[in-house]
Amino acid sequence: MSFKVTNTNNFARRGVLQTKTSTIQTPVFMPVGTYGSVKGLTPKQLHDIGFEIILGNAYHLEIRPGSNLVSSLGGLHKFMGWNKSILTDSGGFQIWSLDSLKKVSDKGVSFKSPVDGSSLFMSPEDSIDIQMKLNTDIIMVLDECTKYPANEKDTSQSMELTHAWARRSKTHFKKMNTKNLLFGIVQGGFHKKLRLQSLDYITQLNFDGIAIGGLSVGESKVEKTTVLKSLAKHLPKDKPRYVMGIGTPEDLVEAVRYGIDMFDCVMPTRNARNGHVFTNDGILKIRNAIHKTSDRPLDESCDCYTCKNFSRGYLHHLEKCNEILASTLLTIHNLTHYYKLMSKIRSSIEKNKFEEFVESFYDMRDLKTPRL
Amino acid sequence: MSFKVTNTNNFARRGVLQTKTSTIQTPVFMPVGTYGSVKGLTPKQLHDIGFEIILGNAYHLEIRPGSNLVSSLGGLHKFMGWNKSILTDSGGFQIWSLDSLKKVSDKGVSFKSPVDGSSLFMSPEDSIDIQMKLNTDIIMVLDECTKYPANEKDTSQSMELTHAWARRSKTHFKKMNTKNLLFGIVQGGFHKKLRLQSLDYITQLNFDGIAIGGLSVGESKVEKTTVLKSLAKHLPKDKPRYVMGIGTPEDLVEAVRYGIDMFDCVMPTRNARNGHVFTNDGILKIRNAIHKTSDRPLDESCDCYTCKNFSRGYLHHLEKCNEILASTLLTIHNLTHYYKLMSKIRSSIEKNKFEEFVESFYDMRDLKTPRL
């Protein structure tokens, strides 16, 4: 692996990450393909938008169809027909979302399969073995996502478990001679002291990249930004930095301001399937009757396949008729919107004009730029 | 319009149909896009397969979103982003399918909207007006699809109504100075005398093309072929001939043998969404457990996007997870299969080798070629 930072503007960084499979321009947004498919799009459509990396979920893929099967069919890239990079989430966040169905011990996590109710167990080592069978480019360690809200004592205990698992993961992964990359995950909830302690611990384990977990769990925007702000100047300079599971376009802009390089979120894809569209003028809900007769594209400033070829009136009609094509066309638009946002961010950092970009970004939304 | 037959092999014809929008090579299969969308595919994906014409349903589009709206947004081509030809079905067959909800009189058909239960009425003139607002390339007259089975008296009465409507449609359409084409529809059920009488009547009205309606209503394969056989030598030579709503690959081959030039059917698209796949080795049901671990494409002899990039194992997995992408990929394959079949038929007629093609077609399926 190589990761190079080519430009910086305050904390914001423009970089290039090389995996065994492809070259990724950062800051980057990764579309989510939970079950080995970014819902509604072919790999060709994803490629045509410009994406260089997507995310898969080790937890979901282990339940269906199983990592052994994916491995026997040539690994996740070949299985899903995607020839650029893939990052897999370890399953920590997904098992955490199961709530009542899980039991966490030092050894790992016991949980019931949401498909057939059978009892399953995953240790940090298991998660790495699963991801090695999927043979993706970037592997995430198993962590415990701390519940929200949680007091300092509970958060600290949960963080210690994450740290012990991170150490075991690193030891297990070292034995494998592989070009796959392993990223560690920082926890510590919404307690600054713990977050810094966790960052320090994870940094010392010398992973290929540093992820910030435990966000998007119900916290406020301010709480989220406070975590990023508190970590910004302590993040290792030579490693890619990834905030997991966020977020809105505003969240991405703020996180880049605090030095983050990588993102994933279901928002552009899931919202598309609910008729919720991101535009440069804000949110547009295509199911609203106001769009029924409109000959305008979703976003006049967008040149995606959907905006170049279809009116709001047509897309409203497809939604009303529950046509599959509505999901596909709105997903193409939303993902293009996210792709273009990251593209504009990258180009502004290159020109040393990121802060100007941030101001115009908030101006267009009639919002005041938050202080860095 | 121009329609030219360039080659014939017995009854089978190779031809070229020019509409106001595009040139169509016949025999041709038209994918069905009921609500202004061929379910699961973008117009680009349809174009990439090679299709030159698709079908829309005037009845469905009048109910949602309404022909006035489509007209105000530039007509059906612009509305759905499809720049090649479109044929619209008049609504006869669809209203016939409503069964208990309709009432037929000389004036037209009264029926209840399946969307909101409101009372609607469609005369032959209304159907043409609707299709003129959609501004499609080929317009179908409103007909009454005779119920099945029906005795000679009932069939004859129903046919007379269809004839009266056909005459009114022609008169109404003549007043419009348009490059759109109008096709008449032959009825007469499964009574040879009536079918010939109907063909004679419809032919004399001098439509731009002749359709055979009233098939795919529950009849046997033999009954279907008998109708086509009885009409074959009486069909007008200078007009495109269209059998509505059929069928299986075998149905298409048989109909071409009896001189048919145009087809539409929901089978390749609907079956794809149910995991039912057409291959050169016969039917494949992708949901069967046998495909779970298979690294083979759906059809080794197919070069569609799906067969070039995905295994049966992956497609089985997508189906099991109810991923939208399964519908899209299987639809691409099934429509490619139909497109390629018509392409092989056309090329064999050009080479004066259609009967050889028919024999090899049945051989591959371990079937005996039916006698012409």
B56-89 pLDDT per residue, tens: 999 999 999 999 999 999 999 999 999 999 999 9
Choose one of A230, A265, A300: the last residue of a domain.
A265
Say what percent of chain B tops pLDDT 90.
92
Answer yes or no: do B324 and A40 touch at CB < 8 A.
yes
Question: Cα–Cα distances in Å, from B166 out to B126, B140, B201?
Answer: 13, 10, 9
For residues B232 and B341, membership in a common domain is answered with no
Type of residue at B243: V
Choose one of B236, B265, B294: the last residue of a domain.
B265
**pLDDT value for A74:** 98
**B90 and B58 in contact (C-beta within 8 Å)?**
yes
> For chain A, how many structural domains are there in total?
2
Residues of A in contact with B83 (CB under 8 A): none
For residues B287 and B241, membership in a common domain is answered with no
**What mean pLDDT value characterizes chain B?**
96
Cβ of residue A48 closer than 8 Å to a chain B Cβ: no
**pLDDT value for B82:** 98
Beta strands in A168-315 (DSSP E): 181-186, 209-212, 241-243, 262-264, 276-279, 282-285
Answer yes or no: do B323 and A35 touch at CB < 8 A.
yes
For residues A221 and A320, membership in a common domain is answered with no
Residues of A in contact with B296 (CB under 8 A): none
Among B77, B328, B329, the residue to mutate for chain A (most A Cβ within 10 A): B328
The single-letter DSSP state of residue A141 is P
**Each residue of A173-192: pLDDT tens digit?**
999 999 999 999 999 999 99
Q: Is residue B369 part of a domain?
A: no
For residues A142 and A111, membership in a common domain is answered with yes
**pLDDT value for B102:** 85
Cβ of residue B43 closer than 8 Å to a chain A Cβ: yes
What average pLDDT does range B322-350 have in this prediction? 98
Question: Cα–Cα distances in Å, from B90 out to A290, B56, B144?
Answer: 30, 9, 10
What are the phi and psi torsion angles at B263 (to 5°)?
Answer: -140, 155
**B327: nearest CA partner in chain A:** A324
For residues B249 and B341, membership in a common domain is answered with no
CA separation for the pair A202, A214 (Å, rounded): 14
Answer yes or no: do B35 and A69 touch at CB < 8 A.
no
Q: Per the structure block, which two tokens stand in for B18?
A: 């020019």
**pLDDT value for B115:** 87
Q: Is residue A139 part of a domain?
A: yes
Strand B276-279 versus strand B262-264 pairing type: unpaired
Q: Per the structure block, which two tokens stand in for B227?
A: 């109708």
For residues B150 and B251, membership in a common domain is answered with yes
Cβ of residue A270 closer than 8 Å to a chain B Cβ: no
- The pairs formed by A202-206 with CB atoms below 8 angstroms and a separation of 24 or more are A202/A163, A202/A166, A203/A236, A203/A239, A205/A166, A205/A167, A205/A170, A206/A170
Cβ of residue A309 closer than 8 Å to a chain B Cβ: yes
Question: Cα–Cα distances in Å, from B282 out to A47, B249, B344?
Answer: 33, 10, 17
Choose one of A265, A285, A309: the last residue of a domain.
A265
CA separation for the pair B188, B191 (Å, rounded): 6
Question: Cα–Cα distances in Å, from B75 out to A311, A317, B203?
Answer: 12, 14, 30
Question: Cα–Cα distances in Å, from A105 out to A144, A145, A158?
Answer: 10, 13, 11
For residues A255 and A310, membership in a common domain is answered with no
**pLDDT value for A267:** 98
To the nearest whole Å, the CA of B14 is away from the closest chain A CA by 34
For residues A52 and A130, membership in a common domain is answered with yes
To the nearest whole Å, the CA of B328 is away from the closest chain A CA by 8
**pLDDT value for A100:** 65
Q: Is residue B372 part of a domain?
A: no
For residues A258 and A358, membership in a common domain is answered with no
Cβ of residue A314 closer than 8 Å to a chain B Cβ: yes
Q: What is the span of the domain harbouring residue B347?
A: 272-364
Q: Is residue A371 part of a domain?
A: no
**A187 and A166 in contact (C-beta within 8 Å)?**
no
Cβ of residue A305 closer than 8 Å to a chain B Cβ: yes
Answer yes or no: do A314 and B64 touch at CB < 8 A.
no
**pLDDT value for A99:** 66
What region, left, alpha or beta, does residue B296 occupy, with left being phi > 0 and alpha being psi -120 to 50 degrees? beta
CA separation for the pair A340, A332 (Å, rounded): 12
Q: How big is the A-B interface in CB pairs under 8 Å?
A: 110
What are the phi and psi torsion angles at A245 (to 5°)?
Answer: 80, 10
Q: Is residue A369 part of a domain?
A: no
**A89 and A141 in contact (C-beta within 8 Å)?**
no
**Each residue of B250-295: pLDDT tens digit?**
999 999 999 999 999 999 999 999 999 999 989 999 999 999 999 9
What average pLDDT does range B39-47 have in this prediction? 98
For residues A89 and A156, membership in a common domain is answered with yes
**pLDDT value for A201:** 98
Among A42, A60, A330, the residue to mutate for chain B (most B Cβ within 10 A): A42
Q: Is the ipTM of this complex over 0.95?
A: yes
CATH number of the domain to which A106 belongs: 3.20.20.105
Answer yes or no: do B325 and A39 touch at CB < 8 A.
yes
**A362 and A369 in contact (C-beta within 8 Å)?**
yes
For residues B258 and B281, membership in a common domain is answered with no
Strand A241-243 versus strand A209-212 pairing type: parallel
- Between B103 and B290, the more confident residue is B290
Cβ of residue B44 closer than 8 Å to a chain A Cβ: yes
To the nearest whole Å, the CA of A328 is away from the closest chain B CA by 8
Among B49, B72, B317, the residue to mutate for chain A (most A Cβ within 10 A): B317
Unique residue bearing structure tokens 């009757």: A289
Residues of A in contact with B35 (CB under 8 A): 317-318, 321, 323
Cβ of residue B318 closer than 8 Å to a chain A Cβ: yes
| pLDDT band at residue B94 under the 50/70/90 scheme | confident
**pLDDT value for A314:** 98
Q: Is A3 helix (H, G, I), strand (E, B) or coil?
A: strand
CA separation for the pair A139, A323 (Å, rounded): 36
CA separation for the pair A52, A17 (Å, rounded): 10
CA separation for the pair B234, B11 (Å, rounded): 11
Low-confidence ranges of chain A (pLDDT < 50): none
**For residue B238, what are the contacts with CB-CB under 8 A and spacing of at least 6?**
B3, B5
Q: Per the structure block, which two tokens stand in for B330?
A: 């299987």
Q: What is the CA radius of gyration of chain B?
A: 20
CA separation for the pair B10, B7 (Å, rounded): 10
Say what percent of chain B tops pLDDT 70.
99
Residue B244 exposure: Cα atoms within 13 Å on the Cβ side: 28
**B228 and B243 in contact (C-beta within 8 Å)?**
yes
For residues B356 and B257, membership in a common domain is answered with no
Answer yes or no: do B64 and A323 touch at CB < 8 A.
no
